[in-house]
Structure 1
């Protein structure tokens, strides 16, 4: 009798075939504190991902492997994971909706050190445009100075259009607008697209393509993967700190952290199923969307509980300026707060509960 290969390789085997080798995870984790303080640019960690051939895959052919890679990067360095996820998302959208010539051009750019991103949040003046003209700005734009080409949303609404824009002009970027307590290493901020010179951007796909499911909300399993990876990374670090203080043997510590870790493992499984569902051409798009939403929401909830549990377990040391658990929790608390949570929950509920026989979802 033959047994199927495990979906995720055991940690000891990651050096031999896992998506993120152990030495890469360790290097990303080691760089995180310096990147948050601004002592070293995050671009160095992105170069490590490039050297591991992780920037050329959009995850479409093997989404389960991509989910695992995002989990591992999220566990090691969530800020790097944020940029990595944006790059994967942008590459996927370009391969879905771009012309063959555009896809080839992007492939050449990536081989020549380009980093992609997806910038969707509008600034005070929403980005609008037609033909060869753009106006307006984006806020919460991650990777200023590292992302070289951003896939941005233009003309909000049902006819939203994607444009791939060269964003290497430092005069248009303003990192001072990022006033969050976490994810500082992402070098996020605003970017002004007004009067972009001709030739600095390309339209990708047709108006309305961006919101086509299951590639829009149906892709938030990537965010769930980063979130649950960061949760496991936070608990792992907290346990290491408690062992060093000889406090991990307390029954209360074990119960508090393990109760969260069990739910994180469940989040891993649901996130994996959401990723795998994207390959099933027989599934209705809305079933894929609902599964992806629930993965995103469950990993958010367990993330909030993990932060609280670690604060209680570590105590005041957690809030020291150079605390590793404190840094991880700061980044995680910011990243968990994605937009439209309530609308997501309502959409998933309508799919699963709006008709008889749908409660099994993709698990039927």
Structure 2
């Protein structure tokens, strides 16, 4: 891993951040309805300096991801992809690729990571590319994406300019949630293979602690989305004079308690994955991050169910804020390979020859 101490920046936290997040939360509803493009919110992040190559330390990044997802889940999904692209270029790419990626970010570019292949997988056919990507988030706002080529141990990463609107197929995204992310297919057919800027060699993408160990960021976004949903439900019920009813408190309070407790676990997973412990014991980082993602998914599902019961039929109105957040959250939480994550993390924990209480120890202490 390259020495990136000079790239680390503190999380700006104060009135400016509060105003920014409030504005982004207000924009989320109109972006979901298609009345405004998420590009304007990306511009707000750019103006606030969030897209630069410097990223906060793990605690700061955890806080930033949670708060952004709490305000605007679709935007947080794009921002997490941007952070991931920077991490991949910095840790796996050579000096030239990292310099190029860093310059893009410092110039205000929004980056992404597109891993899912289309009906025809992305491949190199002579001097040209063939196939494409699906579920590509940020069409029209992401300028460059780190894309995968190949499968299994032969998978390789490359940085690719994806700004050509003629190659965007947003109409292929027919999901009920995360509509504001401008997701869809990207067609690479006919592009020059020389446009690929390789980011590491075959199989490097799968290395820990960066692969599954990096899913703590997804957990942080899931957690933020859950907290945003609960906040929206509380606001709706308060406006109706129903928030303090015993039934409402009984439904929502336990889920909020679990979400707050999950936050401590996700923060711990972040510290392990991004610190010396993760480098020394990569499987620990992978297991903790996978567990954090699974935990926040379970809490998120329970939050959706509790809010449906608490808000009632109004929750299912097309323009209901709670309904919009719940659709986005349910869609985002449907990440791939859930069962594989569960098996890998569970086996690592259950087969260790030590008391389970040792899993609570601080490995960096």
TM norm structure 2: 0.92
The whole-number CA distance in structure 2 between the counterparts of 1:43 and 1:314 is: 31
* 1:96 equivalent among 87, 91, 98: 91
The whole-number CA distance in structure 2 between the counterparts of 1:231 and 1:243 is: 18
Q: Residue 141 of structure 2 aligns with which residue?
A: 146
Given that 1:351 and 1:358 are in contact with CA atoms closer than 8 Å, whether structure 2 keeps it comes out as no
Q: Residue 341 of structure 1 aligns with which residue?
A: 338
Q: Residue 285 of structure 2 aligns with which residue?
A: 288
How many residues are paired up?
349
Given that 1:352 and 1:360 are in contact with CA atoms closer than 8 Å, whether structure 2 keeps it comes out as no
Given that 2:84 and 2:112 are in contact with CA atoms closer than 8 Å, whether structure 1 keeps it comes out as yes
Given that 1:129 and 1:155 are in contact with CA atoms closer than 8 Å, whether structure 2 keeps it comes out as no
Q: Residue 349 of structure 2 aligns with which residue?
A: 352
Deviation at 1:64, TM superposition (A): 1.3
Relative to structure 1, the CA distance from residue 150 to residue 255 in structure 2 (aligned partners, 3 Å threshold; closer, same or farther) is same
What is the SS of the residue equivalent to 2:192? coil
Q: Residue 306 of structure 1 aligns with which residue?
A: 303
What is the SS of the residue equivalent to 1:129? strand
The whole-number CA distance in structure 1 between the counterparts of 2:198 and 2:221 is: 29
Given that 2:51 and 2:108 are in contact with CA atoms closer than 8 Å, whether structure 1 keeps it comes out as no
Q: Residue 45 of structure 2 aligns with which residue?
A: 49
Moved more, 153-162 or 47-56: 47-56
What is the SS of the residue equivalent to 2:276? coil
The whole-number CA distance in structure 1 between the counterparts of 2:203 and 2:126 is: 16
The whole-number CA distance in structure 1 between the counterparts of 2:182 and 2:194 is: 26
The whole-number CA distance in structure 2 between the counterparts of 1:89 and 1:272 is: 17
Deviation beyond 4 Å, 4+ runs, structure 1: none
TM norm structure 1: 0.92
Q: Residue 203 of structure 2 aligns with which residue?
A: 208
The whole-number CA distance in structure 1 between the counterparts of 2:121 and 2:344 is: 26
Q: Residue 215 of structure 2 aligns with which residue?
A: 220
What is the SS of the residue equivalent to 1:89? helix
Unaligned ranges ≥5, structure 1: 1-8
Structural RMSD (CA):
1.8
The whole-number CA distance in structure 2 between the counterparts of 1:98 and 1:63 is: 21
Deviation at 1:40, TM superposition (A): 1.3
Unaligned ranges ≥5, structure 2: 1-9
The whole-number CA distance in structure 2 between the counterparts of 1:321 and 1:345 is: 34
